[in-house]
Amino acid sequence: MAVYEHDVLVVGAGLAGMRATIAADAGGANVAMITKVHPVRSHSNAAQGGINAALTSRGDDWDDHALATVKGSDYLGDQDAIEVMCSEAGDTLIELEHMGVIFNRDEEGHLGTRRFGGQEVARTFFVADITGQALLQVLYEQIVKSQARIYEEWFVTSLVMVDGQCRGVVALELMTGQLHLIKSKAVILATGGSGRVYEPSTNGLIVTGEGMAMAYRAGAALMDMEMVQYHPTTLKGNGILMTEAARGEGAYLLNSEGDRFMEKYAPNMMELASRDVVSRAVQTEINEGRGVDGCVLLDLRHLGRELIETKLSYINEVALDFVNVNLADQPVPIRPGCHYIMGGIKTDVNGATTIPGLYAAGECANVSVHGGNRLGANSLLDTIVFGRRSGHTAATYAAEAGEKAISESVINADRDFIKLLMSREPGNDSWAKIRRDMGDTMNEHVAVFRNEDGMQTAVKAILQLKERFAQLAVRDNSQVFNTSLLFTMELGFMLDVAETICVSALARKESRGAHYRTDIPERDDENWMRHILVHASPEGPSIDYLPVVITRWQPQARSY
Amino acid sequence: MQVTLAIKRFNPESDKPQPHYEEFTVDVEEHFTVLDSLIKVREEVDESLALRCSCRASICGSCAMRVEGHATLACKTKLISVMDGQSKVRIEPMTNQPVIKDLVVDMKPFWDKIRDVEPWLQPQEPEPEDEYIAPNEAMIHLTGVMGCIMCGACVSDCTVLEVDPNFLGPAALAKAYRFVGDPRDDADKHRLKELSKYTGIWDCTRCYECVEVCPKGVAPMDRIMALRDRAIAAGFDGNYGARHTEAFSDLVEHSGWLDELRMIPKTFGMFNPLSLGPLLGMIPIGLRALRRRKLPPIRHKSIPGVKNVRRIFKKVEARK
């Protein structure tokens, strides 16, 4: 068996993973990146609107960005972490520009801005409406330059734990079907979100949450998993994202009566209130019969063809391709859809999880800077700031970690599991059926509006799906590029993530941020300025609590 | 409605691996994309069907394949747009790239060529404290090129790569343009020099396939032509490609139409010893043309309105 060995191994090659790799490489570590898809296929490329930063050089104030983020989080974000992110945002942005990102400019050739939700000031920097893709390409360019090793189209199946430390991973090479042990003194999980636990979702089919599930299985704490963001504007039908930048540039939300209904819900910020607020408003309009065919309308007509074609060309392409709407001529039907998970693997501001040697950054992590609701354009910032910090910290840790003997038998459990999946007699069930049932369950009961009964129903349903999974066979016994095996293994991880979302949601007996309970509609600062931690135990998920870190901003009533 | 997908399959693990077509008939909705229908086959009929896909929104670049003989993104292609009244749709893996299994190809050669153009910004020093100042028009223009999602469709259908796998190809050259066209990049000369060599910008035959199949409007061929202009302007005009371009324009300016016979020595250079080979190589082609009465006239006459043609050239020159 070939032996692979590194100081730092980064799992996932989206923005957080690549930024971590670049930082670890700069820190002198022998670093490699392992990813189930080519880096530029990562889901970071679907981020559209931009990246937030308060540039102090032009008179903006990062305190103001931090306060908007704290308020956006519905006071569940840790304020020390938010201060780190917002104070480092300016340098982060300039660094990206120097690396080669072709940010749109203003008339003098300086970086241009647009407005985004939950903020009074225009401090979102952007590349048309393909900002994520533009950043992803540039970070990949830097990876090519660095010549860091990439295990491309390798799927990590478990973390290797030795004496309570994370010391590497077991991974399936898709091209050959071989399982490998990759030893590493530190491992950084940057595996992205878990949006596909829901159906429909704006997320790509690859966004299956295995990093969170793997950390959870290895004993790490997941935090605030109940906080799942529904984006207010996803396309009718297939649920593709229509960027918040549309509203940032001035688009309206209209109901069936042609009213800008946000007046009722957020009279000051209107369409640019924070996402949880807008999603609830849209869903309320639909539920109360003022929708159009299960949607409301996003109206860009008054922005004019030229602006749409230069600054919002991608969503115009998407609207034309999928619903045959030209945004300059017609409003487009949209509805809220699962988009992002604020919850994730609990880390400190340097990416360290509760397991020595294991780090996490990006959407799979929870630092926590987004708390109960993430502001638009803060996710790209999160990936770059905490990607860099985790890469740097992991490299430093690895330099002092020393050697540990690792037996090659650590791959046996995964090898046996794969054999078992392939040897079972195929019944009528399939990974696709279970995955769809899971997505439907989550979207029905743990969505924009939640209540005790619905969440209890969801927990039971997920447990039943887990039983079905325990009988599931992989029909394809091939070795080369066996996606049936891959999707089945992903599903196993997704079911764990779904379960942690449900039990965390049941545990939070209040409404805060994206977690809105119709049976307990008020925020309860007295009892619930607390994070919810969930650990794996033999009896199933076990819940724990941690107070929110407050530095300067006491909870206030939240209105937009 | 029903559709029959004729999918070109290849299983490297079978006893005698042989590409073959397999037909699947499935119920589909009118709004289905090719990808929707393939996912339906994979989920409901044959779990072993291999393809790459993720975003379903033409941004991740995973699902490029050939549909009805042309490379495209399966997620961006509505079934109804390719059915053309027929109920059968032919789906094949991309070409010019080795097939691994079914619709999955090995993109290593693709990425190797991207790597070959030094795809990272080599900016002016010293770095400014804040951002580089750059005109917005230049950035918006580059956004069109940066819109490339590296799906490989252009490489699949490139007619030059079909005969010369060494050609850098449309995607890598468009990527190179993204840096040459970037006002912040300081390595223009070096880049253009490298790109003017064999396998570079002069090997494109301008067939337009890459422009036709690109799902993101990147128009790689137009970028290659822009690189040619910049290469000549930067003084890299000592190669056949650049001389061919200049000879073409000189001859048309002189007589109003192309003098194909004089084109050859002007391109290769009459007294260049290195050109002896290529010049002699043209002789059999000339003889074949003569036999088929397709040899251009030895005495090349100017067209009647040649003065007007020259006036056009003067005007264009004046504009530069």
What is residue B268's predicted lDDT score, i.e. its pLDDT? 84
Of residues A400, A382, A391, the one with CA closest to residue A9: A391
ipTM metric: 0.95
Kindly list the domain boundaries of chain A, sorted by start residue. Answer: 233-337, 409-536
CATH entry, B108-233, from 3.40.50.150, 1.10.287.110, 1.10.10.10, 1.10.1060.10: 1.10.1060.10
A146 touches chain B (CB under 8 A): no
CA distance linking residue B204 with residue B221, whole number of Å:
8
Sheet architecture: strand order including A51-52: A51-52, A124-125, A113-114
CA atoms within 13 A on the CB side of A262: 25
The CATH class for the domain spanning B2-105 reads alpha beta
Element (H, E) at A310: helix A305-311
* pLDDT per position as a tens digit, A438-467: 999 999 999 999 999 999 999 999 999 999
> Quick check: helix, strand or coil at residue A85?
helix
Contact residues on chain B for A475, CB-CB shorter than 8 A: 47-48
> Phi/psi at A517 (nearest 5 deg)?
-105, 125
Contact residues on chain B for A137, CB-CB shorter than 8 A: 146, 150
What is residue A133's predicted lDDT score, i.e. its pLDDT? 97
* pLDDT per position as a tens digit, A92-151: 999 999 999 999 999 999 999 999 999 999 999 999 999 999 999 999 999 999 989 999
What is residue B275's predicted lDDT score, i.e. its pLDDT? 78
Answer whether A441's CB lies under 8 Å from A497's CB.
Answer: no
Mean pLDDT, chain B, integer = 94
With a CB-CB cutoff of 8 Å, which residues 208-247 of chain B face chain A? Answer: none
Q: Where in chain B is the domain with CATH 1.10.1060.10?
A: 108-233
CA distance linking residue A496 with residue A501, whole number of Å:
9
Query: CA separation (Å) from B38 to A112, B35, B106, B214, B236?
Result: 41, 5, 20, 21, 48
The shortest C-alpha distance from A310 to chain B (Å) reads: 7
Percent of chain B with pLDDT over 90: 83
A232 confidence band (pLDDT: 50, 70, 90): very high
Hey, how many other C-beta atoms are within 10 angstroms of the C-beta on B115?
Answer: 14
- Please enumerate in sequence order all residues whose Cβ is within 8 A of that of A38, keeping only pairs 6 or more positions apart, or say none: A13, A152, A153, B107, B111
* pLDDT per position as a tens digit, B24-33: 999 999 889 9
What is residue B86's predicted lDDT score, i.e. its pLDDT? 84
Nearest CA in chain B to A14: B60
What is residue B238's predicted lDDT score, i.e. its pLDDT? 87
With a CB-CB cutoff of 8 Å, which residues 135-174 of chain B face chain A? Answer: 135-136, 139-140, 142-143, 146-147, 149-150
Rounded to the nearest 5 degrees, what angle is found at the Cα of B36, between the Cα atoms of B32 and B42? 145
What is residue A196's predicted lDDT score, i.e. its pLDDT? 98
A1 confidence band (pLDDT: 50, 70, 90): low
pLDDT exceeds cutoff 80 at B320: no
Pick from B26, B32, B40, B47 the residue to mutate for testing the A interface (most A CBs within 10 Å): B47
* pLDDT per position as a tens digit, B251-273: 999 999 999 888 888 888 777 77
B52 touches chain A (CB under 8 A): yes
B48 touches chain A (CB under 8 A): yes
Angle between helices B240-255 and B220-233 (to 10 degrees): 90
The CATH class for the domain spanning A233-337 reads alpha beta
pLDDT exceeds cutoff 90 at A3: no
What is residue A231's predicted lDDT score, i.e. its pLDDT? 97
What is residue B194's predicted lDDT score, i.e. its pLDDT? 97
What is residue B250's predicted lDDT score, i.e. its pLDDT? 93
Answer whether A297's CB lies under 8 Å from A305's CB.
Answer: no
Hey, how many other C-beta atoms are within 10 angstroms of the C-beta on B235?
Answer: 12
What is residue A362's predicted lDDT score, i.e. its pLDDT? 98
Percent of chain A with pLDDT over 90: 98
Q: Where in chain B is the domain with CATH 3.10.20.30?
A: 2-105
The CATH class for the domain spanning A409-536 reads mainly alpha
CA distance linking residue A36 with residue A51, whole number of Å:
26
**Rounded mean pLDDT, B278-298:** 87
A553 confidence band (pLDDT: 50, 70, 90): very high
A217 confidence band (pLDDT: 50, 70, 90): very high
Contact A46 B104 (CB under 8 A): no
**Rounded mean pLDDT, A516-529:** 98
